[in-house]
Amino acid sequence: MRATPVDGYQIWHPHPVPCAERPIWVQDRRYEMLTPVSHDMHFPFELGLVLRGRMERHFRNRRRSIGPGQVWFCGVWEPHGWRVIEAPCEMVYLLVYPPMLAGLWFEEAPDFSWIAPFLAEPHVRPQFPAQKQRDTLAIGQTLKALVGQDGVEAALRLRILLMKILLDVQHGWTPPRTRTARGVRPVERVGEALQLLFGAGRFVSLEEAARACGTNRKTFGRLFKSLMGISFARFALRYRLGNAARELVQTDAAIKAVAAHAGFSDLSHFYRCFRAHYACTPAAFRRRRGARGKRT
């Protein structure tokens, strides 16, 4: 992993980095003794599961003890710390590409949010009850067996297991309507802008993103590019085009509807952006990827 100092923080860049082509990475760790507090901060969502021992997770001014069969969540660019408080301690965790999870949608459950546990404040994030922790441990062992495995089958198993955890842990849990950000420094609030983009399903302007971060356009634009390597406008456009491409190959929706769902009110503008990014028209992209429908 590589660290970059930004606004007084050490920003960690996991390696390998989750991306659209490989959106989920699984890793495991084992500690034979107690450890001091370590601090971390990164772009991918993080979902972890303790298999043995006990650890303490730190989120701003809050701490939470996590034992066998329990999980933790970390949002985009969310500063967090941890330490082992009961050894030996063994854990397995997933690093997840946020746009993939934000774009996960099923017709039979259009209102279910797969990213809600990552967006909630740490003290209200869902947790497995004691009677479910044995089942969760079994999932954790299956995840551990996938560490280091490549190929389509391993990737699909990771996605299915991630979805099972997120579905099960939200049973009986009501996501809070809003997420507070009092006392959060600007570098941390970049995550607020990204979460706004992922959840909006529409065009999000630089001004709106800056407001979500509690800063001005210039400061936000400079901070975002230092963290992400590209401008917010380009990142947001790529994200919306990615959503459109996914809908083209997964549904038979008309291209005009696909454009609207991705936040493009002008169909000709959508065609220009799509062609510039994918080097073909939306209809050609759909045909090449073998989508179910071909309506235009």
Kindly tell me if the per-residue pLDDT of 186 is higher than 70.
no
Neighbours of 154 (CB within 10 A): 16
**Tokens 């009961």 sit on residue:** 86
96 - beta bridge partners? 24, 45
Entry field: residues in the chain: 296
Q: Which residues does 143 contact at the CB level (< 8 Å), separation at least 6? A: 26, 28, 49, 92, 94, 158, 161
Mean pLDDT for 243-256 is 86
Helix H or strand E segment including 165? helix 152-169
Residue 219 CA neighbour count, 13 Å, CB half: 14
Alpha-helix runs per DSSP H in 170-266 = 186-200, 206-212, 217-228, 232-250, 255-261
| Same fold for the pair 2-169 and 232-296 | no
| Ramachandran class of 69: left when φ > 0, alpha when ψ lies in -120 to 50, beta otherwise | left
What is the number of helices (H) and of strands (E) in the chain?
11, 8
Assess whether pLDDT exceeds 70 at residue 3. no
Domain ranges for the chain, please list them: 2-169, 185-229, 232-296
Show the tokens assigned to 169: 């842990």
Angle at 240 between CA 22 and CA 97, to 5 degrees: 25
Round the average pLDDT of the chain to a whole number and report it.
84
| Mean pLDDT on 274-286 | 87
The distance from CA 135 to its chain's CA centroid, rounded to whole angstroms, is 24
- The pLDDT of residue 188: 60
Looking at residue 191, its pLDDT comes to 72
In angstroms, the CA 279 to CA 286 distance is 13
The DSSP bridge pattern shows strands 62-66 and 24-31 to be: unpaired
CA distances for 282 relative to 202, 237, 270, 271, angstroms = 18, 15, 9, 7
d(CA 252, CA 291): 7
> Who contacts 137 (Cβ-Cβ below 8 Å, separation ≥6)?
49, 51, 68, 69
Domain 232-296 maps to which CATH number in 3.30.200.20, 1.10.10.60, 1.20.1250.20, 3.40.50.1220? Answer: 1.10.10.60
Over 60: is that where the pLDDT of 264 sits? yes
pLDDT in tens, 17-57: 788 789 999 999 999 999 998 877 777 899 999 999 999 99
Contact 278, 241 (CB under 8 A): yes
pTM, entire model = 0.69
Contacts 24+ apart (CB under 8 A), 273-278: 273/237, 273/241, 274/241, 274/244, 274/245, 277/237, 277/238, 277/241, 278/241, 278/245
CB of 28 within 8 A of CB of 147?
Answer: yes
Lowest mean pLDDT among 82-86, 101-105, 136-140: 101-105
Which CATH number among 2.60.40.3500, 3.40.50.300, 2.60.120.280, 3.30.413.10 corresponds to the domain 2-169?
2.60.120.280
